[in-house]
Amino acid sequence: MTTAQRNDDVSSTILADAPAPDRANTTDDLEAAKGADAVRDVEVKEEGARDVPAEWLESPEHPWNWPLSTKWTNTTVIAVTGFLSTLDSSIFVPAMPILEDRYHSSREVITLTTSLYVAGLGCGPFVMAPIAELYGRQRAYSISMIGFTLMNLVCCFVDSLPGLIVLRFLSGFFGSSGPGLGVATISDLFRPQERGRPIAIYAIVRPVLGSILGNWLVLLDFRWPFRLMTILIGLNTLAVLFLMRETYAPVLERAYLARRNGRGKADKPSRSLAKAVVVRTFSRPPRMLFNPVCALFATYYAYTYGIIYVFIVSLPLLFAKHDPPTGIFTYGWPTGTAGLCYIGLGIGFVSSAATAALFQDRIYQYLSRKYKNQGVPEYRLVITQIGMIIFPIGLFIFGWTAQAQTHWMGPMIGSIIFSYGLMLTFNSIQNFIVDAFVPYSAAAMAAATLLRSSTGAILPIFSPQLFINLNYGLGATLLACVSLPAVPAPLILFMMGEKLRDRWRFKA
């Protein structure tokens, strides 16, 4: 059987599954590396090798053993790629009122320019993930970023609403490699106990900055958000092509074996391998949703993602000046400053990223020492529990201070609190799913992504009407109450997680 590292534990959308070591020391890595994936076993047999040499894990060619400078160069490129993908999801939101007037359409239809972009982010990995597994991450990133640049370039010139909506979906589709493969690529580079900080940095700020920038860019022209994104994405595409190295261990391992066996170059993936990869890409994620543990955390993960876009679309309803009036209270900020309403979300997101970067790995290592083991997935849930408690509290503060028409600092503080709790929960659940479902972490994250893309695409369409019809207090209370049933879940999993995972172990 072949080696399959923990590198294949993926981010929010990577869909291929491979077994992997999930503990820190070399002995455990070597033991875990004896696990195998049937498809890769076929591939190795085709190469004429029965066992992958243990020295591969200790080879300087293995991404875990690269110099820190090389790891962080790749991590930076990956983080910028993911940042631009999510930046593009929100940078066009401030242009919605302009499009309503230009194309004489309703706000719900105009919101499709954001919703279908998010849907594209969820669909893209079903193509990018098989490419990444068969040919390597770098090729998947390259194809994705070239297409992403071209779609944004065409958006600069199209002048019809249907065309713009279609192009926004395609932009999300091609831009999906950043959020889809990002955490997977970081997992390629860092061992489990080292991943907390790079993953936290990878997740920082994101959509909020897009809304702030977009608010100022549309003062020049509603196409300027696309022009700026085309320039930034084009530069990042060059970085992907020329600065980023291949990180996917199975692809590197095939090349390593080819050189070791004197063949010089690895064989191309066989048809049987390609077929097996495509089949499991589409079949395993839906089945993972029948696992109660995966279903619970994937649902909450998706809900928090949807809430991000609910408030990206809805915050201007409270803070910006509207003509004609919406019939609900607003602070009436003029166009030039209305984008500052997102600062609260930004502060919360940055603070949560700093918290995760400082404490995620420390908590994991401390609990491992305390309980005298190499670590278990439930150690990730300490931060999840904190975030789940803080998140609804912030929503209550936001909604009722807005309805009471207090000083604008009231709802701003509420947005800081709920976004801090939301992002703590979002990132730590992602880490938990990656750890908890080895060797099927990829399928579990893909299942979560299916739900995530659905909520991120659907909830923003109706969120303005939620607040207009229920007002801010009841609207935020409804959003908070939906999250409350899941609050005890991290504590229950922390105490009984191993038993529950054994009881509902996924069978491929």
Quote the pLDDT of residue 108: 87
- Answer left, alpha or beta for residue 52, where phi above 0 means left and psi between -120 and 50 means alpha: beta
Quote the pLDDT of residue 399: 96
What is the value of pTM for the model shown?
A: 0.79
The token duo for 397 is 């503060």
What are the residue ranges spanned by the domains of the chain?
6-503
User: What class does CATH assign to 6-503?
Assistant: mainly alpha
- Residue of 50, 37, 44, 45 lying closest to 5 (CA atoms): 37
Contact residues for 437 (Cβ-Cβ < 8 A; gap 6+) = 288, 291, 294, 443, 444, 506
Contact residues for 163 (Cβ-Cβ < 8 A; gap 6+) = none
Q: What is the pLDDT of residues 99-143, one digit of tens each?
A: 999 999 988 899 999 999 999 998 888 888 888 888 889 999 999
The token duo for 297 is 């955390």
DSSP state for residue 331 in the 8-state scheme: -
How far is residue 80 from each of residues 32, 246, 320, 379, 419, measured CA to CA in Å? 32, 17, 30, 28, 21
Quote the pLDDT of residue 264: 65
Quote the pLDDT of residue 15: 37
Distance CA 7, CA 438 (A): 11
Quote the pLDDT of residue 43: 39
Distance CA 452, CA 12 (A): 9
How far is residue 254 from each of residues 6, 10, 52, 371, 433, measured CA to CA in Å? 17, 20, 10, 38, 28
Distance CA 421, CA 399 (A): 16
Q: What is the pLDDT of residues 126-135, one digit of tens each?
A: 888 888 888 8
Half-sphere exposure of 181 (CA within 13 A, CB side): 38
Quote the pLDDT of residue 32: 36
**Residue whose entry in the numeric block shows the structure tokens 């022009």:** 227
Rounded to 10 deg, the angle between the 68-90 and 161-174 helix axes is: 160
Mean pLDDT in order along the chain per 10 residues (508 residues) = 38 37 36 37 39 72 91 93 90 90 90 92 86 88 96 94 95 91 84 77 71 88 94 96 90 81 71 82 83 89 92 91 85 88 91 88 89 86 94 97 96 96 90 79 78 90 91 96 92 85 75
